[in-house]
Chains A and B, each alone.
Chain A
């Protein structure tokens, strides 16, 4: 099946068209954020304060790249395990983040939050850090520079390949894929 092409900002209507198992190619802007940045963003939400950068409708990528070699935009940049972000994800979806990219299973309350707030969980290929880095054309730190590799970076990507794992309709590719191919 031909991959669908998407770009942020994403609307509820665009999200509702995505189904678990769809292959997507993202072009345009995505933002990096993992454990430490999530913690700070959710603290701001709890205090009712503004985020340092407006991320409504945007896509967050859970990644901690290797250092860039001279001449590289970014080092190898595959996804990290998403489960560590489970405790923050419902709050950032409620804020208006429409998609997150990572790898590995989400807990039940996070899976439900994708339905409730009309968001999607996208999988990038774990361990394909060299391939994924080639699809990143620009990277700049936009917030929390002091966090080093965990700072929030704005990435410009071209044909960045992801697969829909949890859609906004309650479907879960991990559960369905496994059921389809399991043998007794």
Chain B
């Protein structure tokens, strides 16, 4: 067993909270540059130019690219040969969020109860997903998730008879209904298969893949392309002002499912598609 002090997790989460909000990934910046070149709508082109300038200012001045610095969603791949020492694992993550969001001048956007709505004032608690994997390392991925795009997401318990067309229609329809609200150009995470809760998890996890990296299965890679084309044919465009680029990518994760079911989920991310990784 390898002993790992949970303080290392706190430090990593605090740093990632800031980095994810200040430094937009190169994959997204490249997608903006492509959009600036290829977008046909003049207003849409102007949007890409503002988004590139925004990403540059955020990076150079180390300020949040968006004022919605998100719910801190943590994906943890915990090696089964790791023994955690020095404190409570969940609290170590929350302490990292607390420190990162306070020291990093990030907005505190979490309320303690959905009805009473009192702000927790330190952006905790984090949402924590843990998978136990072979090995003696810990891989942490932090994906701050904004509220505007999260609100436009959906789960659909489709019928197996609806087939691939049913999935495509559900995904395109969800993005169509969202219209300008989730800050397009969006990144579309799609979960397919599993159960009611698993499919939503898959959709969120799909957003972690680098933009442009297709599903490893050529059939599903083609389906991703088909969905992207149909979404971009909606004409919603950057910021919803009309244009060719409504989505920058569609990313699908698939899992086996029950003989009676065909669950699908769409998790929409705004263009501030933020995530950072650390391996301890």
Our pick among A129, A176, A182 for the contact of B64 (Cβ within 8 Å) is: A129
Known: A78-B66, A105-B179. A129 touches B54 (CB 8 A): yes
Whether A127 lies near B51 (C-beta < 8 A) is yes
Expressed in whole angstroms, the minimum distance between the Cβ of A86 and any Cβ of chain B is 12
> Closest CB of chain A to B119's CB: distance in Å?
8
By the criterion CB–CB under 8 Å, are B64 and A130 in contact?
A: yes
- By a CB distance below 8 angstroms, the chain A residues around B67 are 63-66, 75-78, 80, 129
A-B contact count (CB 8 A): 157
Are A66 and B64 in touch, CB under 8 angstroms? yes
Contacts of A9 in B (CB 8 A): none
In the assembled complex, how far is the CB of residue B36 from the closest CB belonging to chain A, in whole angstroms? Answer: 14
Which residues of B54-88 are within 8 A (CB) of A?
A: 54-55, 57-58, 61, 63-69
Interface positions of A from 43 to 101, Cβ below 8 Å from B: 63-69, 72, 75-78, 80-81, 83
A149 → chain B, closest Cβ, in Å?
8
- Determine if A69 and B242 form an interchain contact, defined as CB atoms under 8 angstroms apart: no
- Chain A residue with the shortest CB-CB distance to B243: A181
Q: Is the CB of B65 within 8 A of A126?
A: no
Residues of A within 8 Å of B68, CB to CB, are 78, 80, 129
Indicate the member of B68, B239, B272 with the most A CB atoms within 10 Å: B239
A residues 119-156 in Cβ contact with B at 8 Å: 123, 125-131, 133-134, 149
Flag whether B234 is at the interface (Cβ < 8 A): yes
Question: When chains A and B are docked, how far (Å) is the Cα of A133 from the Cα of B57?
Answer: 10
Q: Could you say which of A66, A149, A184 contacts B69, with CB atoms under 8 Å apart?
A: A66
| Contact of B180 with A161 in the complex, beta carbons under 8 Å | no
Size class of the contact patch on chain B: 35 or more
**Is B90 part of the binding interface, using a Cβ–Cβ cutoff of 8 Å?**
no
B residues near A103, Cβ cutoff 8 Å: 148, 180-181, 183, 239
Which residues in B have their C-beta under 8 angstroms from that of A183? 233, 235
- A67: B residues at CB distance < 8 A: 105-107
Docked CA distance A176–B236 (Å): 10
Is A125's CB under 8 angstroms from B233's CB?
Answer: no
Q: For chain A, which range describes its interface: under 10, 10 to 19, 20 to 34, or 35 or more residues?
A: 35 or more
Most central of A65, A174, A177 by chain B CB within 10 Å: A177
A173 touches B181 (CB 8 A): no
B49, chain A: closest CB distance, angstroms: 10
Interface string of B23-42 (1 = CB under 8 A from A): 00000000000000000111
A21 interface residue per 8 A CB criterion: yes
CB atoms of B242 and A181 under 8 A apart: yes
B271: contacting residue among A123, A127, A165, CB under 8 A = A127
Check B47 for interface membership: any CB of A closer than 8 A. yes
Task: Report how far A110 CA is from B240 CA in the complex, Å.
Answer: 18
Q: Considering only CB atoms, which chain A residue lies closest to B63 in the complex? A: A130
Most chain B C-beta atoms within 10 Å of own C-beta, residue among A64, A104, A183:
A104
- B residues near A, CB below 8 A? 40-43, 46-47, 50-51, 53-55, 57-58, 61, 63-69, 105-107, 146-148, 151, 179-181, 183, 233-237, 239-244, 270-272
Q: Which residues of A contact B (CB under 8 A)?
A: 1, 21, 23, 63-69, 72, 75-78, 80-81, 83, 103-105, 123, 125-131, 133-134, 149, 161, 163, 165, 173-174, 176-184
**6 closest pairs, A vs B, by CB?**
A177-B242, A182-B235, A181-B235, A126-B183, A131-B54, A104-B181
Extra contacts besides A127-B66, A178-B234 (13): CB < 8 Å: A21-B241, A68-B105, A72-B63, A103-B148, A125-B50, A127-B54, A130-B57, A131-B57, A161-B50, A165-B241, A178-B242, A181-B243, A182-B235
